[in-house]
Chains A and B, each alone.
Chain A
Amino acid sequence: MTLKVENIKVAYGMIEALHGISFAVADKSVVGLIGSNGAGKTTALKAISGLLPLSGGRITLDGRDINGLAPEAIVKLGIVHVPEGRRIFPRMTVRENLDLGAFTRHRDATVERDLGWVYELFPVLKEREEQLAGTLSGGQQQMLAMGRALMSKPRLLMLDEPSMGLSPIMQDKIFDLAREINASGTTLLLVEQNARAALELATHAYVLDTGAIALDGKGSDLAHDERVRKAYLGEE
């Protein structure tokens, strides 16, 4: 599985938010996409998942064009996007949310097995199976969002700011879980403002600045880069 984003442009009406950015996500890797607020990270993920149309460039999965496909078709290809702010279905139970995650799959034993695996990863979801999702805490909701996405058996999981608004302990926990998911064979595209944690996890990372890629490199390299440290890690 290789995702290639080539020179894509995305505009909101007359305003262009991405001015032609390119990056690649290799199989089984963890790719980080960092940048300040408003840089265009979410826009990039939405373009990949088919929520926003491209005004230029192309996106390929294993050499095949996927731009122009409807979001549901992209999910079927194995690319799943956990949106910023979790966006779980608040008036449905935890279980119903997870079931919807498997919407594109045929109901069979493998779905049951994956549910078991998700419950193993996130035991708290099992405990709260029948509770309305809207009543979960922020961290629990993030877990539910991730679990829901995993239920579609993704090859590429895109996480948009999974640590946003969580306590430091919960943040660490989410990153640990992300690592675990990657270890199980799922490729990750991780968007973060919390650049430190993202860079720690990422095999390769890109820095996005007002709609363009400013820098890229191995995660550990970027973590030591002067400019990144100043601008994104808050160090002097």
Chain B
Amino acid sequence: MDILLQFFINALMLGAIYALAAVAYTLVYGILEMINFAFGELFMFGAFLVVSFMLPQVSLFGVMVPMPGLPFLLAAPLAILFVAAMGYLIERCAYRPLRFAPRLAPLITAIAVSVALQNLAQSVWGAQELSYPSFFLLEAKPIQIGGAYISMVEIAVIVTAAVVMTALHFYVKKTRMGRAMRAAAQDVEAAALMGIPVNRVIAMAFIIGSGLAALAGIFYGAVYLFAHPHMGFMPGLKAMVAAVLGGIGNIRGAMLGGIVLGFAETFGAAYLPNGSAYRDAIAFGILILLLLFRPQGLLGTRLPNRLADRGAMAFKGSASAIDAGLARLSAFFAGRDLVRYASWGVLAVVAVSVFFIFPSPYWARVFVFVLIYALLASGLNIVVGFAGLLDLGFVAFWAVGSYFTSILFVEVLAKGYGVDMSSVWWLFYVNLLLGGGLAALFGMMLGYPTLRLRGDYLAIMTLGFGEIIRLVATNWVDLTRGPMGIRGIPVPSLFGYKLGSPVQLYLLGLVLLALAVFLIALMVRSYLGRAWVAIREDEAAAEAMGINTARYKLYAYSAGGFFGGVTGVFFAHSQQYISPLSFTLFENILILMLIVLGGMGTLAGPIIGAAIWVVFLEVARDMPFIQQHHELRFMALGILLVVLMIFRPQGLLGQKRQPLMMS
């Protein structure tokens, strides 16, 4: 009984934190139908700022800076205000210029903002955990109820969350602005036609949402007594899951979703076999089940699929200095020449790569990675670029291919049956197909249940799938050797002749990439490709034209998965070692960014994006500033992408295609 009560208290506290952050996601989603991934980072900034304000001095950028040393009750509101302002600025500068853009654009920008903020925080506060300064709530003695304990912080979290939620409920129900917010959430355009200042309402949603995220982060930090640059990532994802659980866009749903998730996680970790290792997978597992059986969420109402002109719409705000500046820059970036230069760039990359590769095994190895990322990006590009479906679980296909061949070669054949791996060299080539096929099958399995879902739900679903595969690879130690990884995977060989040197791997990879691009080109030029593009441009219209959109979406997932799997097989054998650390969500985000960088929906874009990025990462290692702040490489990528989405959303190589309005 004591133990149950203790679980109950833990779950309620965790749920309250998730609920606060989930409301942030839901508020913004309700109006813009956009998942603001950056809330996870604003959550983290909340914790960092409150700690900074409370301490007498803090090391910022490695320099000790005196701080006011404020009491918690002053520091917390200040931090919340600060983060709310950040949220407003992000909305104003990064998202608002994209109101005209296709759906995917703000989503990708949000991810990029999130990456930039995470790495910014590491530059500012350093990589170490900052410990939470003690204050009255922490010093108070916990209350004992039977054998269960509840600390003052936990009580504060639960009570504050309840109060804030109630206040918010009244705000949206009773106030003028709150009502306007609800109206905008139900129909932005109609709201604008009623004279509701939609841009202001959206800004308000971001401000309130960011404040809530900060509050959640402050509490999270206070409960677990730390602040860290990456602390917001997982809770952010969980809060997003909670928002979807409750029915995204629905405030009461988000609260309920948060609590449900808190309970599911706590009790799942306690009572499922190996539950605590799989604890993060529990959240994603529930999410997938829910999306399968009740996609509108617990409290959401199933709405008729509203057509075209509901979501993103054009608001002509008053022209400001910012807009004027944006416009000028935009003219520069849109220049035709850039496309020409970029095409020359492809040739140049190939030419230069050859020049580098032969004299230096290192550069050959770098270009092996260019090829691996180019292959992955090309595969993902089928899903994202051609079919217009966001996929945040693509690394799972890569992992499936890698693990398939590694387990077969090392664990089954060599260790299980004592087969000499060099005698079955041909199996590598067979595995390229089998691994690809297996991944394609996974693609089908993933795609099938998600077909009924709208774009963003799909994104979250794939994200959940990717995380589950990674967690299984980490925790199913008997099958995958878990975090120890599998080593001793043989290099590819041909009739006993090893193809293990970097140059040989490069050439092999080049052949694979050429084949992949050729196959993708065939697909894209066929009816299949036209169907994908039709779905991307306007799903309803495609349906009306008689395209079985569900079927073609499935094909896109399988085709993308196939190339992911093939790459995985090549990757495992070229590296001779794999571990779950390679298949993270962050890698998935990187691959996505490569595509955006090069140009979504183009054949050369993913390759150029991969080349630029991988080479940049290597070249940047030598820059003096980077030698001190390695994380800046990733911050640069984040910022670059935000800028790119605004000024050149088609990527470096993409032709300026007809931008999709209102879809």
Contact = CB atoms under 8 A, between A and B. Distances in A.
Chains A and B touch (C-beta atoms under 8 A apart)? yes
Interface of A: 12-15, 49-53, 68-72, 75-76, 80-83, 87-92, 96, 99-101, 103-104, 148-149, 152
Interface string B165-205: 00000000000100110110011011111111111000000
A220 to B, nearest CB: 31
B177 to A, nearest CB: 10
B660 A75 contact: no
A13 B190 CA distance: 22
A96 B189 contact: no
Nearest to B193: A81
Given A13-B659, A70-B199, A70-B315, A100 B193 contact: no
A71 B317 contact: no
B183 A89 contact: yes
Contacts of B315: 70-71
A52 B197 CA distance: 15
Interface residues of B, number: 32
B352 interface: no
A70 B660 CA distance: 21
A92 B182 contact: yes
Contacts of B195: 71-72, 75-76, 80, 103-104, 152
A14 B314 contact: no
17 contacts: A12-B661, A51-B313, A52-B314, A53-B314, A70-B317, A71-B192, A71-B193, A72-B195, A80-B193, A81-B193, A87-B193, A100-B183, A101-B194, A103-B180, A103-B196, A148-B194, A152-B194
Contacts of A96: 179
Interface of B: 176, 179-180, 182-183, 186-187, 189-199, 301, 303, 313-319, 658-662
A91 B316 contact: no
Given A13-B659, A72-B195, A103-B194, A51 B183 contact: no
Given A70-B199, A152-B195, A91 B313 contact: no
Contacts of A49: 193
Contacts of B189: 51, 83, 87
Contacts of A149: 193-194
By secondary structure, the B interface counts as loop
Task: Name the 4 nearest CB pairs between A and B, nearest first.
Answer: A75-B195, A104-B195, A87-B190, A71-B192
A83 B196 contact: no
Contacts of B313: 51
Q: Pick from B193, B317, B660, B662 the residue with the most CB of A within 10 Å.
A: B193
Nearest to A101: B194
A185 B180 CA distance: 29
Given A49-B193, A90-B186, A103-B180, A68 B316 contact: yes
Q: Pick from B182, B195, B197 the residue with the most CB of A within 10 Å.
A: B195
Contacts of A50: 192, 316
Contact of A51 (B187, B193, B659): B193
A100 B316 contact: no
Given A13-B659, A51-B314, A87-B187, A72 B179 contact: no
A108 to B, nearest CB: 14
A99 B318 contact: no
A13 B661 contact: yes
Q: Pick from B317, B318, B319 the residue with the most CB of A within 10 Å.
A: B318
A182 to B, nearest CB: 20
B384 to A, nearest CB: 20
A91 B193 contact: no
Contacts of B190: 83, 87-89
A13 B660 CA distance: 7
A165 to B, nearest CB: 14
Q: Pick from B194, B197, B662 the residue with the most CB of A within 10 Å.
A: B194
Contacts of B176: 103
Contacts of B301: 91
Contact of A100 (B180, B198, B199, B303): B180
A30 to B, nearest CB: 20
Contacts of B182: 89, 91-92
A194 B430 CA distance: 65
A92 B661 contact: no
Given A70-B318, A148-B194, 13 more contacts: A13-B658, A13-B661, A14-B659, A68-B319, A70-B316, A71-B192, A71-B193, A76-B195, A83-B193, A89-B186, A89-B190, A96-B179, A152-B195
B248 to A, nearest CB: 14
A93 B22 CA distance: 26
B61 to A, nearest CB: 40
Nearest to B197: A72
Contacts of B661: 12-13
Nearest to A133: B186
B315 to A, nearest CB: 7
A51 to B, nearest CB: 6
Contacts of A15: 658
B186 A71 contact: no
A169 B140 CA distance: 72
Q: Pick from A12, A14, A70, A83 the residue with the most CB of B within 10 Å.
A: A70
Nearest to A107: B176
A148 to B, nearest CB: 7
Contacts of A99: 179
A14 B658 contact: yes
B186 A75 contact: no
A54 B186 CA distance: 27
Contacts of A75: 193-195
